[in-house]
Amino acid sequence: MTLSQEIRTAFRTCPFCEATCGLEITLKGNEILHINGDKEDVLSGGYCCPKGMALGELQNDSDRLRHPLIKRNGAFEEVSWEAAYAEVEKGLLPIIKRGNRDAVALFYGNPCAHTLAGQLYLQHIIRALKTRNLYSASTTDQMPRHVASGLMFGSPALISIPDLDRTQYLLILGANPLVSGGSMCTAPGFPKRLAAIRNRGGKIVVIDPAKTRTAKAADEHHPIRPGTDAFFLLGMMHVLFAEELVSLKHLSGHVQGIEEVRGIAAQFSPEQVSGACGIETAVIRRLAREFSAAPAAAAYGRIGTNTVCFGSLNAWLIELLNILTGNFGKAGGSLFPQPGHSVPFQGPGGKGWQTGRRRSRVKGYPEVMGEFPVATLTDEIETPGEGQIRALLTIAGNPVVSSPNANRLDKALASLDFMVSVDFYLNETTCHADVILPPPGPLNTGHSDIMLYNNAVRNVAHYSPPVLPPQPGHPDKWEIMLSLSLIISGQGAATDPAILDDFIIAQLVSSAVKKESSTVAGREASELLSILGKRKGPERMLDWMFRTGQYGDGFGKNPGGISLDRLENHPHGLDLGPLTPAIPEAISTPSGKIELAPLQLLADVQRLKTTLRIKQPDLVLIGRRNIRSCNSWLHNLPSLLKGDNRCTLLVHPQDAARLGLAQGAYARISTGTGFVEVPVEISEDMLPGVVSLPHGWGHNAPESRMAVAKINAGVNSNILTPGDVDPLSGNAVLNGITVKIVPAPGRE
């Protein structure tokens, strides 16, 4: 048997969603035979969903681009990498040289968080661009959590995670982890972890407008009016104060602002909020009492609480619920992860954090984490004047499908002077590009989910080497990103990205050896660089991060500590134990205390209050997840598209009857921004007055090259979303959209 025919097994973390499941990939030579969950993976223990099993389909997808494309006379042509880079230089540099850096914008999508190059090299493109016009998927679904963390804990990156494996009471708001795999809570095998809570006598309560799969697996489900979670949470908080159930325990002395919170909560009794949120006063009271009495409880909110007009308030109130009941920073409550590459917390105390260091040109939205809301990207392209966006770089993103007011954005992209995309596919967004630079296949590169381990329910370290050899002549994604940085900074398309990579690591090492708090303080930079020298690119960077992290080998100082060599010898990862309490040392606010009552959030409560008596709209739209989808980008994989049409409108039977909608017939859903027509699915799972349409569909751009997705195109739910935002975070409002629905004229 020749080497190319040998059956072999490779282990690789799944790059599709935040769960980071370990995969066991069986190959014959380089041919993928099948993919299963890796039973020995330290975090996932064998769990794997249909998407992970379809990773080979993405690797082998004939529609996945293997060569750069340039648009000439309206049609795409395959070209060499040299020609593609030269075209980028020719298109971008004149715009940059006209003097206004803001004329070039960057949008990066969620898959950037799932590649090593995206996690480690994006920052160099941002630095080279020097533009104010930065946009990402973060303002589509998660910025409120960063805002709450930044204002309360001093760092937007400090995300508290429910300690799923030890909690006795889990309150889930607006999340469906049994289908999504878990988000901002990396916990592969969510179904088993939730079942374990109930098996050990604990309780799960779900607050959600729809009876989702997670709601069905819970002890209790309470449907809530979309966008009203803040009322429900304030009602619970009112009960905690009124019945003297607030108990800070170990957090006493580490918080400030409790009297302000008491004053706010006093204004929202269960009787006052029940009508708005649709949850009975007795239920609000009982849940508050149960949550405070549980031996260990955790409240966890996600998409449904973030993608609404009070997203930041929701994120803040969920943290407050955990804090006021003494469940924050304790085992079984909510905790900050400290994964394998992390450095020890440096607090208490720090510089703190702020938003609004600059404002967007057209609508005056504050910058948050350096970004403006993606909901205003179209305004900035369409509106003439100094700073108008004339060129766009997209990296692993499909904003025409994922961002609000999609039809308007689609037209705006067509009006740009130049656009370049780094992407696997010619899709609804990249069809507007002048140049498309495809990264290599997912199995041709190494992988480590360092970003997602910052949100994991256990502390772990993991690295997966490439499963397949590099495609000859195809640069790695980090090389593409550094080449773009070099072009943008005027150093020329022909410059070898390896030179910039060497420079970056040399800078990192020489500044670390001068830093007192570093584990390599006082060491010779040249010695450390020579130890790192056998690797390059993201692997060298990773080795550096692991070795200098709190569990690292410190380049020999801590024998047995983590290095990339060690991780390569542990293909299932290293388990570093359960999450541990880190209060007060994690807190980096100027006061060194958890700020319970930041002024921006207190002010936003007054905006919330004005909506308490507003008449609820007759019909509102929410999104939903399916286990075979991951936003917009996996719809070209045949095994994930088989079966019934999933892009349907879920409607409660009462609504279907009053609107004249029949099962399977088409409904026309319209808002001020457009309309779509989709088949109706009548379902008791919906709350009357609430309908649901999944996002990520609408693959009908004539120029796109995704054959499977085109056959099952579905409709783009973002044609309906107007582009409103949560003012504190700039996060798009994608849930609770007022819609009109009629039977689709002329369609059966």
- Give me the DSSP letters along 42-107: TTTTT---HHHHTHHHHHH-TTS--S-EEEETTEEEE--HHHHHHHHHHHHHHHHHTT-GGGEEEE
Q: Is 340 in the site for ligand SF4 (CB under 6 A)?
A: no
Instruction: Tell me which of 25, 48, 70, 649 binds ligand SF4, using CB under 6 A.
Output: 48
Among 111, 156, 181, 440, binds ligand SF4 (CB under 6 A): 181
Question: Per the structure block, which two tokens stand in for 586?
Answer: 């994690």
- Strands 104-108 and 134-136, how do they pair? parallel
Q: Is position 113 an interface residue for ligand SF4 (rule: CB under 6 A)?
A: no
User: How do 435-437 and 69-72 pair as beta strands?
Assistant: antiparallel
Least Å distance, CB 21 to ligand SF4, is 3
The yes or no reply on residue 51 touching ligand SF4 (CB under 6 A) is yes
Prior bond to 584 cis, omega within 30?
yes
Least distance between ligand SF4 and beta carbon 650 (Å): 23
Nearer to ligand SF4, 21 or 528 (CB): 21
Of 10, 11, 12, 16, the residue at the interface with ligand SF4 (CB under 6 A) is: 16
Candidates 16-24, 95-103, 236-244, 529-537 — which segment interacts with ligand SF4 by CB under 6 A? 16-24
Residue nearest to ligand SF4 (CB): 52
Q: At its nearest, how many Å lie between ligand SF4 and the CB of residue 342?
A: 21
Question: What string marks each residue from 61 to 80 as x (binds ligand SF4 by CB under 6 A) or -?
Answer: --------------------
Distance in Å, CB of 15 to ligand SF4, minimum: 8
Q: Which is nearer to ligand SF4, 23 or 435 (CB)?
A: 23
3-class secondary-structure state, position 249: helix
Interacting span for ligand SF4 (CB under 6 A) from 45-53, 250-258, 363-371, 721-729: 45-53
* Contact call for residue 52 and ligand SF4 (CB under 6 A): yes
* Residues 21 and 447: beta-carbon distance below 8 Å: no
Cα 125 → chain centroid: 20
- Rounded Cα–Cα distance for residues 520 and 137 (Å): 36
Stretch that binds ligand SF4, among 46-54, 415-423, 519-527, 698-706 (CB under 6 A): 46-54
State the minimum distance, in angstroms, from the CB of residue 38 to ligand SF4. 10
Q: Report in angstroms the alpha-carbon separations of 146 from 132, 222, 248, 311, 338.
A: 19, 27, 23, 11, 17
Give the span between the Cα atoms of 112 and 447, in whole angstroms.
12
CA distance 716 to 548: 45
CB of 108 to ligand SF4, least distance (A): 20
19 makes contact with ligand SF4 (CB under 6 A): yes
Q: State the amino acid at position 649 in one-letter form.
A: L
Q: Closest approach of Cβ 572 to ligand SF4, in Å?
A: 15
What secondary structure letter does DSSP report for 277? H
Q: What share of the chain is helix, strand, coil (3-state, %, to 5)?
A: 35, 15, 45
Beta carbons of 399 and 428 less than 8 angstroms apart: no
How many whole angstroms separate alpha carbon 435 and alpha carbon 414? 14
Q: Which is nearer to ligand SF4, 35 or 436 (CB)?
A: 35
Please pick, from the candidates 11, 12, 20, 307, the single residue that binds ligand SF4 as defined by CB under 6 A.
Answer: 20
Beta strands across the sheet bearing 435-437? 75-78, 69-72, 435-437, 418-422, 391-395, 104-108, 134-136
Q: Which is nearer to ligand SF4, 179 or 701 (CB)?
A: 179
Return the structure tokens found at 687.
């709350």
Q: How far apart are CA 314 and CA 334, in angstroms?
A: 16
Contact region for ligand SF4 (CB under 6 A) — 9-17, 458-466, 680-688, 693-701?
9-17
Give the whole-angstrom CA distance, residue 500 versus residue 523: 23
Residue with smaller CB distance to ligand SF4, 85 or 697: 697
Find out whether the peptide bond into 465 is cis, omega within 30 degrees of 0: no
**Closer residue to ligand SF4 in complex, CB, 37/270:** 37
What's at 72, amino acid-wise?
A: R
Span near ligand SF4 by CB under 6 A; candidates 44-52, 236-244, 608-616, 649-657: 44-52
Q: Does 633 bind ligand SF4 (CB under 6 A)?
A: no
Residues whose CB is less than 8 angstroms from the CB of residue 316 and which lie 6 or more positions away in sequence, other chains included: 148, 151, 152, 598, 601
Q: Which is nearer to ligand SF4, 180 or 718 (CB)?
A: 180
Stretch that binds ligand SF4, among 15-23, 169-177, 224-232, 478-486 (CB under 6 A): 15-23
- Output the smallest distance, CB 174 to ligand SF4, in A: 19
* Least separation in angstroms between CB 449 and ligand SF4: 9
**Least separation in angstroms between CB 692 and ligand SF4:** 21
In which residue are the tokens 């308490």 written? 612
Contact status, residue 37 vs residue 191, Cβ threshold 8 Å:
no
| Smallest distance from ligand SF4 to CB 214, Å | 14
Tracing tokens 């804990």 back to the chain, one arrives at 153
- Work out whether 49 is an interface residue with ligand SF4 (CB under 6 A): yes
Min CB(54)–ligand SF4 separation in Å? 9
Q: How far is the CB of 300 from ligand SF4 (least distance, A)?
A: 17
17 binds ligand SF4 (CB under 6 A): yes
Q: Is residue 493 close enough to count as binding ligand SF4 by CB under 6 A?
A: no
Toward ligand SF4, which CB reaches closer, 20 or 378? 20
Q: Which stretch, 47-55, 302-310, 475-483, 693-701, contacts ligand SF4 (CB under 6 A)?
A: 47-55
State how far the Cα of 301 lies from the Cα of 688, in Å rounded to an integer: 22
Nearer to ligand SF4, 17 or 106 (CB): 17
Q: How far apart are CA 317 and CA 319, in angstroms?
A: 5
- Name the segment binding ligand SF4 (CB under 6 A); options: 19-27, 530-538, 544-552, 727-735: 19-27
Cβ closest to ligand SF4, residue 40 vs residue 585: 40
CA distance linking residue 71 with residue 63, whole number of Å: 17
Q: Least Å distance between CB 620 and ligand SF4? A: 29
For ligand SF4, the binding residue among 21, 273, 374, 576 (CB under 6 A) is 21
Residue 45 or 352: the one with the smaller Cβ distance to ligand SF4 is 45
DSSP string, 351-410: ----S-SSB-TTT-PBPBTTB--GGGHHHHHHS-STT---EEEEES--HHHHSSSHHHHH
94-108: buried (b, 16+ CB within 10 Å) or exposed (e) per residue?
A: ebbeeeebbbbbbbb
Among 10, 11, 12, 14, contact with ligand SF4 (rule: CB under 6 A): 14
What mask, x for binding ligand SF4 by CB under 6 A, covers residues 183 to 222?
-----x----------------------------------
Name the nearest CA neighbour of 637 among 50, 114, 69, 112.
50
- Could you tell me the smallest distance in angstroms from the CB atom of residue 33 to ligand SF4? 18
Which parts of this chain interact with ligand SF4 (CB under 6 A)?
14, 16-17, 19-21, 48-49, 51-52, 181, 188
